[in-house]
Amino acid sequence: MGRLDNKIAVITGAATGIGKATAEVFAREGARVICADLKEDEMKKTVEQIKQNGGEAEAVELDVSSQDRVMEFADHLKEKYGKIDILFNNAGVDEQGGKVHEYPVELFDRIIAVDLRGTFLVSKYLIPLMLENGGSIINNASMSGSAADLDRSGYNAAKGGIINFTRAMAIDYARSGIRVNSLSPGTIETPLVDNLVGDRQEDMGEKFREANKWITPLGRLGRPDEMAKVALFLASDDSSYVTGEDIKADGGIMAYTWPGKMLIEQDEWKKDTE
């Protein structure tokens, strides 16, 4: 018996990274997974892998920032399945934009459109498919929604909005049997991080990982499968009395106020991560 047997789960941004890992975990736990993403080729690979492992999955091309496309997606789900049980609003983009006075308006608008507005649109049009039977919604936020980053104010605004939007949704739908929580990952080894700072083969990418390695109390970046397991907890009945919460899975970064002694005794602190 799987923890999600007979459940229908929708995951946006399911082609790579956290979304891909979560689709695989949900399928292993018995859910039929609808993978929605703009990266059609990679998404199809995710679905094929799930099917090869004995799971059930479907790929649907979706731009979460388009109201028309999201409405069409909701109609497709209603016609084919009649309901859904789990929604993981995972789709998101990020890019450094500079200080606020330098920040490109079009970049700010794009991040808000995909990360925050996309979460709103998908929730708005898919929640009616959960009202009769209840379910679980997980919104992918970030530790960057609770604290700020240099040169990334658009991302900070979007993810901070998602965290509080999650609380609003939780209140709105608690009496309908729909639980709503957000997942706030730390720095995770995903293509998004590669695009933001470079992969391990690039100098800046390696420097970024080394910096995160010692500033993160657990001494490493997170893995997509670790985030998928947190999402599984929130999707399953194991979290039946949890709603309106932001669950941080960040290796301990948000546990301290400033890295004072870690900076002062940098060499000694870093030894523990090697």
Reported as type and span, the H/E element at residue 98 is: none
Taking the CA atoms of 232, 235, 236 and 238 in sequence, report the sign of the dihedral they define: positive
Give the separation between CA 34 and CA 31, rounded to whole angstroms.
9
Chain position carrying tokens 């301990």: 252
- Which residues have CB under 8 Å from 109's CB, separation 6+? none
Q: Which amino acid is at 132?
A: E
Give CA–CA dist 100/106, Å, rounded.
13
Distance CA 248, CA 171 (A): 20
Please give the distance of CA 67 from its chain centroid, rounded to a whole number: 20
163 neighbors 140 (Cβ within 8 angstroms): no
Alpha helices in 174-223 (DSSP H): 191-197, 203-215
Q: Which residues, 6+ apart, have CB-to-CB distance to 65 below 8 Å?
A: 110, 113, 114, 117, 118, 121
Give me the active site residues, please. Answer: 155
228-to-81, 133, 249, 265 alpha-carbon distances in Å: 24, 24, 11, 34
Cα-Cα-Cα-Cα dihedral sign, residues 175, 177, 182, 183: positive
- Token pair 């530790």 is found at 143
Cα within 13 Å of Cα(243), Cβ side: 20
